[in-house]
Amino acid sequence: MSPMPSVVEAGRWLRDGETTAVRLLEGALQRAANCEAQIHAFLTIDRERALETAARADADLADGIDRGPLHGIPIALKDNMCTRGVETTAASQILAGYRPPYDATVVSRLGEGGAVVVGKTNLDEFAMGSSTENSAYGPTFNPWDITRVPGGSSGGSAAAVAVGSSVAALGSDTGGSIRQPAALCGVVGMKPTYGTVSRYGLIAFASSLDQIGPLTRTVEDSALTLEVIWGHDPLDATSYSGDYPDPKAGLDRGVAGLRVGVVKELSGEGYEPAVESAMGEMVSRLEGAGVEVVEVSLPSFEIALSAYYLIAPAECSANLARFDGIRYGHRGQGSPE
Amino acid sequence: MPVEIDIEHVARLARLDLSAEELEGYKDQLGLILEHAARVQSLDAEPHAENAHPLGLFNSFRDDVVLPSLDRDEVLAAAPETAEGYFVVPPAMEGE
């Protein structure tokens, strides 16, 4: 569906002189102009700022300055990541008009890596939801079938990549908010290991679970994006300070010889027959490709949802207490005397 | 395992003025949440303590030195009301 190239293809075209960062961005903006009325993936598109960044990326490349795999690549950001001077709402009316005085660490890293931010994408308010229907600014629709939801809460990022209004995107995942919309929109979504991507400047939902990660068209793009955004950050006390592996290692190896576990507790009662049969089909395909598929049991699995729904609301009630209208954003009228 | 809740007390703490019907509804819903909590509490997590964090992180502190912080005017620009370099907040105490 997407007329957009992958990060890898776009990077090759840029360096071969077949396209420019400005042309790539214009393609993304044109696609957004054609699709946004049906899809509503974005909350904010700052055209001027994006064009400036793209022009700078082109000038740098012409001067022989290559900032890496995302240099000149259009990328969309979920609107719960702070962007200095650019409205950041987390899809809530509470933060309407909020222009952060600083960039999230992932935004700084994208900037240092020469990426071009296309815009800020829609989400369930404060990233709480699984369908992107619960945005204060209206829902996002699934590009493959606009009568269906794109998943959530990073539904805007998933839809933007699927429809080709961006080459890649960042989302955030607390209890599935990258992986599930990626699955529903047919793109690659990854929740990196907790602590590997800085949460500084991510509007917090549940701090012990939140993690920023990439939504891309290919697995290789996911690795390239991760390589730019991850790494130790002194501004996040839970940031991992040890060695980081090369996320691209093993990309060419294929899946043959891998051992894949299928969780026993993830079938049977409560699961859609269509999901189960798709799962069975995937197991056969993996086995056909030389993967050893083994059944594993996670006996405490049935308690996982209960644990999540204690941890996540407890942490979010502490985190969201700051939205009391004192330091920024909306202050409600008629509060009790 | 039903859990006893003094829902009127909880509503008072949250400063919510609820009707009898709402009190009943919230009591049922809160009861379900507390049943979830009781289920989780019934697990013996001790043998799995090493799995509590994938990377075994501990608190990390930076050096105790003064660094530049965000610009005051830029930070205050986001506030609904400010005066003389401060946030202006609604009164929180009773009386004059």
For A254-266, the pLDDT digits (tens) are 899 999 999 998 8
pLDDT band at A336, cuts 50/70/90? Answer: very low
Report d(CA A43, CA B44) in Å as an integer. 45
Q: What is the pLDDT, as a whole number, of residue A225?
A: 98
A289 inside domain: no
> Above 60 in pLDDT, residue A276?
yes
Give the Cβ contact number of residue A130 at 10 Å.
18
* Most confident range, picked from A65-69, A295-299, B84-88: A65-69
Name which residue leads in pLDDT, A283 or A266.
A283
Strand, coil or helix: A216: strand
CA distances from A168 to A76, A190, A263, A277 (A): 6, 12, 30, 30
Size of interface A-B (CB pairs under 8 A): 67
Q: What is the pLDDT of residue B60?
A: 79
Residue A332 has pLDDT above 50, yes or no: yes
Q: What is the pLDDT of residue A217?
A: 97
Residue A221 lies in a domain: yes
- Residue pair A190/A213 in contact by the 8 Å Cβ criterion: yes
Least confident of A161-170, A200-209, A215-224, A293-302: A293-302
A325·B80 Cβ contact <8 A: yes
User: Would A298 be classed as within a structural domain?
Assistant: no
**A333 pLDDT above the threshold of 70:** no
Query: Chain A residues with CB inside 8 Å of B41's CB?
Result: none
E-only strand ranges, A177-312:
188-189, 211-216, 259-263, 292-296
Residue A282 included in any domain:
no
Please report where in the chains the tokens 């214009």 appear, as a residue.
A26
pLDDT of residue A323: 84
CA A14, CA A251: separation in Å to the nearest integer?
A: 22
pLDDT tens, position by position, B48-65:
787 777 777 777 788 899
* Structure confidence at residue B16 as a pLDDT band (50, 70, 90): confident
A222 part of a folded domain: yes
Pick the residue with more confidence: B92 or A309? A309
How far is Cα A164 from Cα A43, in angstroms, rounded to an integer? 16
Distance CA B14, CA A234 (A): 37
* B39/A303 CB distance under 8 A: yes
A97 to chain B: closest CA residue: B78
In-domain check, residue A280: no
Dump the DSSP string for A14-51. HHTTSS-HHHHHHHHHHHHHHHHHHH--EEEE-HHHHH
Strands (E), chain B: 82-83, 86-87
d(CA A130, CA A127): 8
Which pLDDT score is estimated for A112? 98
Which among A102, A48, A107 has a CA at the least distance from the CA of A78? A107
From A1, A61, A36, A177, select the one nearest A118 (Cα to Cα).
A36
Which of A130, A177, A198, A239 is an active site residue?
A: A177
Average pLDDT in the A75-98 region? Answer: 96
Instruction: Give catalytic status of residue A172 as yes or no.
Output: no
The DSSP bridge pattern shows strands A74-78 and A116-121 to be: parallel
Phi/psi at A227 (5° precision): -60, -30
Domain ranges of chain B: 7-43
Verify whether the Cβ–Cβ distance B79 to A335 is below 8 Å: no
| The pair of three-digit structure tokens given for residue A221, joined into one six-digit string | 């793009």
Kindly determine whether residue B78 and residue A99, on different chains, have CB atoms separated by under 8 Å: yes
Q: In this prediction, does ipTM exceed 0.85?
A: no
The domain that holds A225 is classified in CATH as 3.90.1300.10
Examine the pLDDT at A6 and tell me if it is beyond 60: yes
Q: Structurally, how many domains does chain A consist of?
A: 1
CA B94 to chain centre: 24
Chain B residues in contact with A300 (beta carbon < 8 A): 43
Domain that holds residue A229: 7-252
In sequence order, what E strands does A167-209 have? 168-173, 188-189
Give me the catalytic one of A78, A108, A135, A154.
A78
B78-81: long-range pairs with CB below 8 Å, 24+ = B78/A98, B78/A99, B78/A100, B78/A101, B78/A327, B78/A328, B78/A329, B79/A326, B79/A327, B79/A328, B80/A325, B80/A326, B80/A328, B80/A329, B80/A330, B80/A331, B81/A331
Residues A56, A62, A67, A110: what is their CA dihedral angle, to the nearest 10 degrees? 20
Whether A153 sits among the annotated catalytic residues: the reply is yes
What are the contacts of A238-244 at 24+ separation with CB within 8 A? A238/A194, A238/A195, A238/A199, A238/A207, A238/B57, A238/B60, A239/A195, A239/A196, A239/A198, A239/A199, A239/B60, A240/A193, A240/A195, A240/A196, A240/B55, A240/B57, A241/B60, A242/B55, A244/A196
Q: Is residue A313 part of a domain?
A: no
- The reported pLDDT for the residue numbered A1 is 58
- For chain A, the average pLDDT equals 94
Residue A202, beta-bridge partner list = A81
Closest by CA to A28, choosing from A156, A91, A116, is A116
β-sheet bridge partners, residue A29: none
